[in-house]
Amino acid sequence: MDVCDDGSVRRAVTSVYQKAGAIDVLINNAGLAYVATVEDMTMEDWRRQFETNFFGAVRVTQAVLPKMRERRSGRIVMISSVSGLVTPPTQGAYSASKHAMEGLSNALRHELYPFGVKTILIEPGYIVTNIQQTAVQVAQPVPGKDQEWAVRQSVCGSWSGAKSSRAKSKTTPEDCARVILKAIQAPVPRARYGVTPLATTLKWAKRLLPDNAIDAMIRRRYGITREE
């Protein structure tokens, strides 16, 4: 289905009900990432980022919830990100969409509690998938924005080599799938499941360290310095 299209979502959900009779689990995994500074992104790009990552999840969730509530059973799995906890440079739009997913999931967890429908957040860190290459492709330099583009190049450079260095990424999409399956099968699932060591580390760092310490770590990682 196209999660950005109401008709497409309705047709797909109706088709599943006709073939299977019920939907036990919904995994909201559709997403894309823009690599650009907040200043450089057009409003249309911002809307596309949220239409896929956030409104798409809302659209599909709304389509399946009525019958889940009627059956008093079901699980909504939201694929968030470590970027829903901290925000690297040039990932403001992507990170904002994942922060929104976190807030949406928190609300659903309370709203659906009386009906026995569980809402679960999956929070991966860096995992090599097609999203990195797509992000590099949509990132284009903006004339006269040398400093912003330098920051963006740093991020794109680390992502563009991801496909050739898959061995360096210890966590695979299959590892993430196993975590999702564990969350689906758990009698009493947790509200959140981290996937990578980075996700676990940053989750605790966010709780224990002040913001300026985390900011300093991120700036060192991407080589961001103050202009003289």
Name the nearest CA neighbour of 224 among 155, 125, 159: 155
Residue pointed to by tokens 């999702």: 180
What's the rounded Cα separation, in Å, for the pair 114 and 120? 16
DSSP code of residue 4: T
Q: Which residue has the tokens 């694929």?
A: 79
Strand order in the sheet with 25-28: 25-28, 74-79, 117-123, 192-194
User: Which amino acid, residue 43?
Assistant: M
Cα distance between residue 145 and residue 161, in whole Å: 24
The question of whether 94 is a catalytic residue gets the answer yes
Catalytic entry in 17, 34, 94, 126 = 94
The pairing of strands 117-123 and 25-28 is unpaired
Residue 23: other Cβ atoms inside 10 A = 17
CA atoms of 197 and 171, how far apart (whole Å): 9
Q: If you search the block for the tokens 């409104």, which residue do you land on?
A: 55
Catalytic residue list: 94
